[in-house]
């Protein structure tokens, strides 16, 4: 983790990127596996929005996605354990789809989309 300076403008750009990924993930035109990847990428971009807003950055480290989720959860505050457990489950399915050619069930994808949508709403309140 690198400490930088709070950058609300770039944080809003990350939020916009998260919203674009989320919109693409919500499209029925894509396979569930593609949608799982896009959903997780939306969550990562949303976390980057929080980190950038707080003056932090994570770059090129093993476990970087986990660190982003954990750091964003702390920065957002509140009782977000269940939400971030669901996001972590989404990350696991994304890994299975990416690295193990696993099929992503519709119910798992629906929960991932719901959790990521909740995260994006929290981030929007935090950075705007």
Domains of the chain listed by start with CATH number: 2-127 (1.20.120.330)
Q: Which of 14, 79, 76, 82 is nearest to 43 (CA)?
A: 14
Report pLDDT digits (tens) over 2-25.
Answer: 888 999 999 999 999 999 999 999
Report pLDDT digits (tens) over 13-70.
Answer: 999 999 999 999 999 999 999 999 999 999 999 999 999 999 999 887 777 888 998 9
Residue-level pLDDT at 78: 84
Report pLDDT digits (tens) over 66-105.
Answer: 899 899 999 998 899 999 899 988 888 888 888 888 899 9
Question: Contact, 124 vs 15, CB < 8 A?
Answer: yes
Q: How many CB atoms lie within 10 A of CB 90?
A: 26
């Amino acid at each position: 983790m690198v400490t930088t300076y709070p950058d609300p403008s770039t944080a809003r750009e990350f939020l916009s990127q998260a919203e674009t990924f989320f919109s693409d993930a919500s499209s029925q035109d894509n396979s569930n596996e593609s949608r799982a990847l896009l959903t997780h990428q939306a969550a990562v971009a949303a976390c980057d929005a929080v980190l950038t807003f707080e003056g932090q950055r994570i770059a090129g480290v093993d476990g970087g996605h986990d660190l982003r989720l954990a750091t964003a959860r702390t920065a957002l505050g509140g009782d977000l354990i269940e939400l971030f457990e669901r996001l972590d489950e989404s990350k696991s399915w994304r890994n299975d789809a990416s690295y193990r050619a696993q099929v992503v069930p519709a119910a798992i994808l629906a929960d991932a989309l719901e959790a990521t949508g909740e995260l994006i709403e929290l981030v929007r309140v935090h950075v705007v």
